[in-house]
A and B are shown apart, each in its own frame.
Chain A
Amino acid sequence: MSLFSLFGALEIGLIFSLVALGVFISFRLLRFPDLTVDGSFPLGGAVAAILIASGWDPFTATLVATAAGALAGVATAMLNVHLKIMDLLASILMMIALYSINLRIMGSPNVPLIMEPTLFSVLQPTWLTDYIARPLILVAIVLLAKVGLDLYFSTQQGLAIRATGSNPRMARAQGINTGAMIILGMAISNGLVALGGALFAQSQGGADISMGIGTIVIGLAAVIVGESILPSRKLLLATLAVIVGAIVYRFFIALALNSEFIGLQAQDLNLITAVLVVICLVIPLAKKRLLRRRNV
């Protein structure tokens, strides 16, 4: 594997760690199986790309994209909380609705960003080449997001969101408006995913309507890989695990695709993902069996 593809994998891994953090919030903290992600990731990309292409500065464009994702999360949560639609179904409905919305926003199936300034081109110091500068910028953004989440989820409000996911009946009995907490949590989750989408579009030279396909699988894979590398119930470590998981996952993919002797090609990506997730899910079980055999 070349150094170039190594940095490429790190870059995409870091971007997807934002997605994975979002998925962690919905699936793990709120226990809300949220597939909106497949729509809010390209939504972030679409909004950022179209705004930058029409002359907005990349910072504002990225912020607006994040807010758009948050709004999508609010919509899914409201379908569930106020209209009593089952969580999974609500998120699937939102996901397919977003496909059309994203096409509307972009006006065409893709919006290229070739010469336009991006967050990366603006922040990149002149003495650094872009394949090193980009991961560095992303590390800063991801760390900021991680620390922000760690702090937020240890506040009274953050704790109320975690209680809502863990035991909604108890949460209500403690005076927590669980519906409002689900909406808030889903906004944060999908905002992060859209931020990932906005950065992805800017790093990969444009937004594409199909860029969201399988986002949820990648996000979940990252969460599961992370949890098997660094199993911890402590929030500080759990968010770190999710980030590590996203990067490790991306390295595995790059390794598999770049090792010619295995003979895998780009179209095998989803198969590799599935196998990787199965391996990570089986590891704890195998470990337990091994320990038991040793004790006998």
Chain B
Amino acid sequence: MLSAKDLKITFNPGTPIENPALRGLSLDIPNGQFVTVIGSNGAGKSTFLNAVSGDLAIDSGQIVIDDTDVTKQPVWERAKRVARVFQDPMAGTCEDLTIEENMALAQQRGERRGLGKAVRASMRDGFRESLATLGLGLENRLSDRIGLLSGGQRQAVSLLIAALQPSRILLLDEHTAALDPRTADFVLQLTARIVAEKQLTTMMVTHSMRQALDVGERTVMLHQGQVVLDVSGEERKGMDVPDLLAMFEKVRGEKLSDDALLLS
């Protein structure tokens, strides 16, 4: 499980552009739960995700994954427990390496890397099998450079390799935002399937309220660096986008000024 306690991050402290991005954010996600995270621009979604992955150091607070305090661990050490897919489809894979080399890298996530051969013949069958589930024909292109693939294909592979090695937490950072609608839909279906199959504890940041309600079991809304809304179970099942908006307005006692952004 993931437990974030009273996270605080302030960008550029002590300057005129001081920006308190997280103001005491707390969130507990039990094992195997799929949580979607929404919020307007600047609400702290990405900051929160980067804090959990270790890309950003927090000013105060505590992050615990499965009873292990990871607050002080650098990204590469947390990678044992945390898998991640980035918003930029080019960021999740190494374009200079082949598909199989990328998969071999990911299969060893969090393990010691020694002088053993990186890509062994025995791995290839497994790689082919999991690539075949994408239905993109990539299973026949194992030794192609991954830079030759399209953004959508690369994002699908990123998602696939994030789940190659068992991990506790899967972080998805608006991972469909840079894709065209059809590809985005494909990647989202794939996400739901992989999360269900591997029973991953998942946190998905999204810009789209529709998406946030369609997948996962629980939806959390951030505003000004805090959790302002947390719906799950029966309450969430009957919800639609307008309900979510209405709830948000009730909670904050103010009208959302950037509806357009949230609905997009």
A residues adjacent to B (C-beta < 8 A):
152, 154-160, 162-163, 165-167, 169-178, 233
Tell me the minimal C-beta distance from B199 to chain A in angstroms.
21
Are A155 and B94 neighbours in the complex by a CB distance under 8 Å?
A: no
Chain B, interface size category, equals 20 to 34
- Of chain B, the residue at the smallest CB distance from A152 is B115
The answer to whether B76 and A178 have CB atoms under 8 Å apart is: yes
Distance (whole angstroms) from the CB of B247 to the closest CB of chain A: 34
Whether A157 and B114, one on each chain, are in contact in the complex, defined by CB atoms closer than 8 angstroms, is: yes
Known contacts A172-B76, A173-B84; A156/B95 CB under 8 A: no
CA distance A172 to B115 in the complex (A): 19
Report chain B residues within 8 Å CB of A169. Answer: 55, 86, 91
Nearest first, the 4 closest Cβ-Cβ pairs linking A and B are A175-B79, A156-B113, A175-B110, A159-B118
- Shortest Cβ distance from B101 into A: residue: A159
Within the complex, the shortest CB–CB distance from A138 to chain B, in Å, comes to 27
B1 at the interface (CB under 8 A from A): no
Within 8 A of A (CB), among B66-97: 74-77, 79-80, 83-84, 86, 91-97
Contact check, A157 vs B105: say whether CB atoms are below 8 A apart.
no
Evaluate contact between A154 and B96: CB separation under 8 angstroms.
Answer: no
Closest B residue to A29 by beta carbon equals: B96
- Secondary structure type dominating chain A contacts: helix
Assembled-state Cα–Cα distance A178/B105 (Å): 13
Q: Are B95 and A160 in contact (CB under 8 A)?
A: no
Set of chain A residues within 8 Å of B80, measured between Cβ atoms: 175
B95 neighbours in A (Cβ, 8 Å): 166-167
Q: Are the CB atoms of A172 and B75 closer together than 8 Å? A: yes
A156 vs B115: C-alpha distance when bound (angstroms): 6
Alpha-carbon separation in the docked complex, A239 to B119 (Å): 19
Q: Which residues of A contact B93 (CB under 8 A)?
A: 167, 170
Quote the shortest CB–CB distance from A278 to chain B (angstroms).
Answer: 26
List 5 interface pairs A-B (beta carbons < 8 Å), by A numbering.
A156-B114, A158-B118, A159-B113, A174-B108, A175-B109
A174 touches B101 (CB 8 A): no
**Complex Cα–Cα for A125 and B130 (A):** 57
For B55, list chain A residues within 8 Å (CB): 169
Do residues B76 and A167 form an inter-chain contact, with CB atoms below 8 A?
no
Q: Is the pair B109, A174 in contact by a Cβ cutoff of 8 Å?
A: yes
- Report yes or no: B145 in contact with A174, Cβ–Cβ below 8 A: no
Q: Is there an interface contact between B114 and A175, defined as CB atoms closer than 8 Å?
A: no
Closest to B147 in A: A233
- The answer to whether A174 and B104 touch across the interface, beta carbons within 8 angstroms, is no
